[in-house]
C-alpha cells in the first residue's frame, strides 16, 4: 500500500511540474503577444507600424462588433505622427439619418472608434470610455466621402485625452468635432503581462 502511495505521489508531482511548465510557457507567450500589441509609450512607432496596428484593429472590429458596424465602412489612410490617425469613409445608407445625411449617432460612434484607433496607434491600451462629446457643425449628402482625423492629446498612465474632426470630402468643410476621454488601464488579468513591455 505504501508503494502505491509513493507511485501516486510521484505521478502527481510529475503532472504538477508539467502544468507549471505549461503555465510558464503560456505566460511567456502571452507576454510576447501583449508586448507586440501594446508596446507602451516609451517606444515611438514608425508611421507604417502605427498604420499597421490601426488596420489590424479595424479588421478585428469588422462584422457588426461596433455600432452601425462602423468599422466596415472605415479605411485607414495614414498615421502621420505619433498618436494621430487619418481615416475615411463613404456615407452609405446604413449611416444615414432621415435627411440622408450622416446620422449623429454614427458621427459619435466614429469619434469613439477613431479616437480608440489613435490611442492604439500610440501604443496605448484601448480602454473604456469615461466621457465623449460631439459638436455637429455641418451635414453632408449621400455617397459623400468623409475624412476623419483622430488625435491623442495626452496619453497618461490611466487616462487618454483625444479629439476627432470629421471633414466633408467635397469641400473640406468641418462637419463635426468631438472629444473623447478613455480609461486606458488594462484589466487585472492583463496587467502583469503588459508590465513586461519596454
Residue 188: beta bridge partners? none
User: Which three cell numbers mark 134?
Assistant: 460631439
d(CA 168, CA 139): 8
pLDDT at 165 over 80: yes
Q: 132: Cβ–Cβ under 8 A, 6 or more apart, which residues?
A: 108, 111, 112, 178, 179, 180, 181
Strands 84-90 and 159-168, how do they pair?
A: unpaired
User: Which three cell numbers mark 124?
Assistant: 496605448
Q: State residue 127 phi and psi, 5-degree precision.
A: 65, -165
8 Å CB contact between 119 and 184: yes
pTM for this one?
Answer: 0.70
User: Which three cell numbers mark 129?
Assistant: 470610455
Least confident residue range of 29-38, 58-67, 110-119, 182-191: 29-38
pLDDT at 34 over 80: no
Digit-coded pLDDT (tens) for 49-84: 777 777 777 777 666 555 567 778 888 888 888 889
Q: What is the mean pLDDT of the chain?
A: 80
Amino acid at each position: 500500500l505504501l508503494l502505491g502511495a509513493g507511485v501516486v505521489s510521484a505521478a502527481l508531482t510529475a503532472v504538477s511540474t508539467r502544468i507549471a511548465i505549461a503555465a510558464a510557457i503560456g505566460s511567456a507567450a502571452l507576454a510576447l503577444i501583449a508586448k507586440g500589441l501594446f508596446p507602451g509609450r516609451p517606444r515611438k512607432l514608425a508611421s507604417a507600424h502605427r498604420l499597421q496596428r490601426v488596420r489590424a484593429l479595424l479588421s478585428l472590429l469588422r462584422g457588426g462588433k461596433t455600432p452601425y458596424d462602423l468599422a466596415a465602412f472605415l479605411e485607414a489612410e495614414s498615421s502621420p505622427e505619433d498618436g494621430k490617425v487619418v481615416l475615411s469613409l463613404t456615407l452609405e445608407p446604413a449611416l444615414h439619418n432621415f435627411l440622408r445625411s450622416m446620422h449623429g449617432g454614427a458621427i459619435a460612434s466614429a469619434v469613439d472608434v477613431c479616437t480608440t484607433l489613435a490611442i492604439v496607434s500610440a501604443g496605448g491600451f484601448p480602454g473604456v470610455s469615461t466621457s465623449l462629446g460631439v459638436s455637429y457643425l455641418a451635414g453632408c449628402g449621400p455617397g459623400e466621402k468623409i475624412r476623419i482625423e483622430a488625435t491623442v492629446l495626452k496619453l497618461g498612465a490611466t487616462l487618454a485625452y483625444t479629439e476627432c474632426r470629421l471633414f466633408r470630402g467635397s469641400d473640406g468643410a468641418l462637419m463635426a468635432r468631438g472629444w473623447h476621454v478613455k480609461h486606458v488601464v488594462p484589466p487585472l488579468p492583463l496587467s502583469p503581462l503588459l508590465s513586461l513591455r519596454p
